[in-house]
Homo-oligomer: A and B are copies of this chain.
Amino acid sequence: RRRILVTGGAGFVGSHLVDILMMKGHEVIVVDNFFTGRKRNVEHWFGHRNFEMIHHDIVNPLYVEADEIYHLASPASPPHYMQNPVKTIKTNTLGTINMLGLARRVGARILIASTSEVYGDPLVHPQPESYWGHVNPIGPRACYDEGKRVAETLAYSYAKQEKVDVRVARIFNTYGPRMHVSDGRVVSNFIMQALQNLTITVYGNGKQTRSFCYVSDLVDGLLGLMASSYTLPVNIGNPVEHTIEEFAMIIKNLVPGCRSTVATGAAVEDDPQRRRPDIAVAEAHLHWKPKVSLQEGLQRTIDYFKEELSRTT
C-alpha cells in the first residue's frame, strides 16, 4: 500500500487510473484545477478514507508527501490546449518542474504522461521511441508538442542531475468512457454526431491515420511502466491503424439506424498525417500489449455517450 499522487486525476485518463489504484487499496491524492477535468469523474470516491482531492493548479508549488507520482495534468485535446497556449506551456514547463521538484524532495518515483505528439507529423512509420520526431516549433500545436518534449527533457535532466527516478509514457490516442462530450477529439465528435444523426465531420480528406487505444489498456500500461525498472520513454498505444475516413464509417456502423452522412472539410493546420505506435519496447520490457478490440472499446464508449446524451436532454 503506497501513497500515490495523481496530477490531473479528475480528467479522462486520470480518473480511470484513480479507480484502479483505489481498488488496489492504495492511498490516492488527486491534484486538479478542473480546467478540463470534472469532480464528477472521481466523486464516487469522495468520503473514502484512502482518497483525497486537492483543488490546486500545478503551475504553483505543491507540498505533499507521496511514494509515487503519476503526472498527468495537462490539457490533451487540440481545441483545449490551443485555447490558451501560454497556459498549456506553463502547465507542461512550470508544472512539470514543480512535480519533479516534489519528487526530488520526497524521493518519489514519477511517471510523466508524454504523448505521441512528440513525434509530430512523423517521417518514420510506425514510430519507435528512438525516432526524434518532426515538430513545428512555432505552429499552432507547438504549445502542446514542444511543451511535452521539454517536459521529457526536464524529466531526464532531473534524473541525471538530481537522481530523480523517472518514467516516461508516450501515450497515443486513447478513448473510452468519461471523455468529454464536447472535448473536440475525433472519437467524441464522431460518436456524438452519429448518435444524433448529424453530419460526421472529417477534417481534410480523411486519409490521415490514427491508432486508438481503449482507456483500460492504457491504464494497464501506465501501471506496468511505473512498476518496471525500464527508465527510457515507452510508447503506450494500440497499433491497429485506420484512416479517419474509415473510422467515421466504423462508428456510423456501430450505431444502429444511424442516418449520419460523412462529409470532408477544411484540413487542420499541421495535422499529423500518420500515426501508429511501434510497441516493441512495451512488449519486451513491460510485457504489455492492448487487449480490448476497437469494436468492443467503441461499443462501450458509444454506450457511455448514449447515457450522457440522455442525462443532459
> Copies of this chain, how many?
2
Bound together, the chains give a CA A149 to CA B138 distance in angstroms of 8
Chain B residue nearest in CB terms to A118:
B137
Please indicate the chain B residues that have their CB under 8 angstroms from the CB of A245 in the complex. none
| Bound CA span A138–B90, Å | 20
Is A156 an interface residue, CB under 8 A from the partner? yes
Instruction: Find out whether the CB atom of B156 lies under 8 angstroms from the CB atom of A138.
Output: yes
Indicate with 1 or 0, residue by residue over A140-163, a CB within 8 angstroms of chain B CB atoms.
Answer: 001100110110111011101110
A89 to B137, CA, bound (A): 16
Tell me which residues across on chain B come within 8 A of A137, comparing CB atoms.
118, 132-133, 149-150, 152-153
How many whole Å from A158's CB to the nearest CB in chain B? 6
Q: Among the listed B94, B149, B161, which residue makes an inter-chain contact with A86, where contact means beta carbons less than 8 Å apart?
A: B161
Distance to closest chain B CB from A80 (angstroms) = 14
Given the complex of chains A and B, what is the CA–CA distance between A160 and B149 in angstroms? 21
Partner of A150 from the list B84, B146, B168 (CB cut-off 8 Å) is B146
Q: Contacts A120-B132, A138-B233 hold; do A84 and B161 have CB atoms under 8 A apart? A: yes
Main secondary structure of the interface of A (DSSP, over half): helix
Q: Does A192 contact B (CB under 8 A)?
A: no
Instruction: Please tell me if A261 contacts chain B, counting CB pairs below 8 Å.
Output: no
Asked whether A142 lies within 8 Å of B138 as measured between CB atoms, the reply is no
- A156 in complex: contacting residue of B134, B142, B152, B232, CB < 8 Å: B142
The complex places the Cα of A168 from the Cα of B137 at a distance, in Å, of 12
Q: CA separation between A190 and B162, bound complex, in Å?
A: 33
Distance between A76 CB and nearest chain B CB, rounded to angstroms: 17
List the B residue with the shortest CB-CB distance to A147: B150
A135 within 8 A of B: yes
Provide the residues of chain B in CB contact with A150, threshold 8 Å.
89, 93, 137, 146-147, 149-150
Which 4 residue pairs spanning A and B have beta carbons closest together?
A: A85-B157, A93-B93, A142-B153, A146-B153
